[in-house]
Every structure is written in C-alpha cells, then in structure tokens.
Amino acid sequence: MTTAAAVEVDARSVRRIALSHKLSRWDVRFSPYLYISPFFLVFAVMGLFPLLYTAWVSVHDWNLIGGQGDFVGLENFVTVLTQGYFWNSLRNTFSIFLLSSIPQVLVALGIAAVLDFNLRGKTFWRMGVLLPYVVAPVAVALIFNDLFGDKFGLINSAIMSLGLEPIRWHVDVLPSHIAIATMVNFRWTGYNALIFLAAMQAVPRDFYEAAIIDGANRWRTFRSITLPLLRPIIIFVILTSTIGGLQIFDEARMFDNVGQGGASRQWQTLTLYIYELGWNQRNFGRASAVAWLLFLIIILIAVINFLITRRISGTADRKLRVRAKGMK
C-alpha cells in the first residue's frame, strides 16, 4: 500500500514538472507576441480599419450628406486621374517635399554633429533645437505667414531695403513652395537632429581617439566614422521624412486665409485636394480615391528610398571592407 502511494506521488510530481516545463516553453514562445499585441490591436482599430473603410468608400458614389450610394468600381479613381487638379496637387506635393526633406536631413546632421561636441551648456542647446517641434503647427504657420507677407512681410521689407523687387510669396509657385518648406524645416529639423545626436552618442569614443591619433581631423572622422555608423538611423529618418513630407497639410492649409492652396492652386497639396473634395464638394468617394492613391504613392516612394539607401549603404560597406583588407 505504501509502495503504491509512493508511486502515485512520484507520478504527480512528474506530471507537475512536465506541466511546468510546458508552461515555461509557452511563456518563452508566446509572451513576446502578447507584449506587442496591444499596439497591433490599437493599430487594427485606429489604422487598419480606416484604411479598409476608405477603400470601401472609394468604390462607391458617396456623398457627405446623402451617405452611401451605388457601387461605381474604379470610376472615382479614373475621374480624379483625368483631372488636372490632381496632377497639379501631386506636383506641388513633391516640390514641397523635396524642398523640405533634403535640406532638413542635411541641416539636422550638421546640427547634431555640432551638438555632439563638448559644448558649454550642452543641455540648453539640445533642448533649444527641440523647441520649434513643440510649437503648434498653426502657430508656426501664422508666424511665418506674417514673415512671408507679400506687402508688409519682414522678409520682403528686408529685400526691398536692399533695393530689390519684393518676392510674391503668395502668388508665384516656387516662392510659395519655399515658404511652406521653410515652415516644415523649422519644426522638424531640431527633432531629427536629436535623433541623429542620440545615434552619434552611441558611437564608441575609442574610434575617434584612434582616428585622431592617426592624424584625422574633425571632418575626416565625421565622414569616415560617424556617417557610416549612422546609416541605419539616416535611413530611418529619410523614410519618416518621406512619409511625413508627402502628407503636408497644416502649413499649406494655413498659408493664407482661404486655405485652398492659393488662387491658382499654386501650393495645393494632395491632402488639401482631399479636403476640398471631401468637405467642400462633399464627394467622399473621390476624396477616398485620392487618399488611396496618396497611400500607394507613399508606399512606392518609401520602398524606392529604402532600396536606394540600402544599396548606397551596401556599396560603402564593401569599400570599407576592401580598404580594411588592404590595411592588413
């Protein structure tokens, strides 16, 4: 009897240990998915559902007041693609995007390199470059709208004091794009600079000390050590700048009192065009079609950006490896 009880106890212990091991394996295997699941649940509700719902609206005749109408298939896409306003807004979007993103990344890199020096009061300077980011976009647009005023703006006053003709910021295409790009750069350059600075702070200082001992100057260490090690962060900033730059709305919307992108739509972006179709013309079907076209354009440009930057990064890495082999 005693032997049977002991066997029963041993069997329970074995089952308990087996269950514990099984739970431990499940914990290791499934816990990471549970930890990240809240993000994807929120994304499914706040991101994926609106995306799919917009696709559903884009294939219907949908009015802001009347609601859902007949199924029209791709008619809304064909209609907006044959309208000149769509291509005009697409051109404006790319123009403002290029004028803002390229200088923004380059200047942010330069600011981060300066902040990486052992400056006095470096916390003050680092916080200072982030201040424009915390200013509301509407406030930035109002301030810069006064600076870029056609008649009484501060910039035109300075230009006229030099005996030059004033620039028609709200009339001509390129000046209006430069003005809007300046607002975007003002807000986001400091933010990107801090991202670059955080990456620079992670670079081992031994690399710089060894390079300085070998006679390298500041520019050489920046070009040969800092930039190669910052490539993943540079790719990340370029991708996020691409996604944000193609969705410019606040600055363009607030650049004048009307908010339609200019009298001749000279700075109307795709997001402003979506706003006009949806809320002024009350045609949600066409607005959703443009929104989906913008989404596909962003995906395409982001993939091209990623492939180009990865190719450049791979080429530079191969050169570094060849150079390192030559030094051995």
- How many whole angstroms separate alpha carbon 26 and alpha carbon 22? 6
What is the C-alpha to C-alpha distance for residues 245 and 94, in angstroms, rounded to an integer? Answer: 8
d(CA 268, CA 284): 18
Nearest to 252 by CA among 83, 90, 93: 93
pLDDT band at 270 (very low <50, low <70, confident <90, very high): very high
pLDDT band at 323 (very low <50, low <70, confident <90, very high): low
Q: Would you state the pLDDT for residue 96?
A: 93
The mean per-residue pLDDT over the stretch 219-235 comes to 85
Q: How far apart, in whole angstroms, are the C-alpha atoms of residue 102 and residue 229?
A: 20
Model pLDDT for residues 46-90, shown as the tens digit of each residue: 888 999 999 999 998 988 777 888 898 899 999 999 999 999 999
Model pLDDT, residue 294: 92
Confidence band (pLDDT; 50, 70, 90) for 39?
confident
CA distance 132 to 111: 14
SS3 181: helix
pTM across the whole model: 0.80
pLDDT tens, residue by residue, 300-318: 988 887 787 777 666 656 6
Which residue carries 């980011």 as its tokens?
133
pLDDT band at 213 (very low <50, low <70, confident <90, very high): confident
Tokens of 128: 């200072």
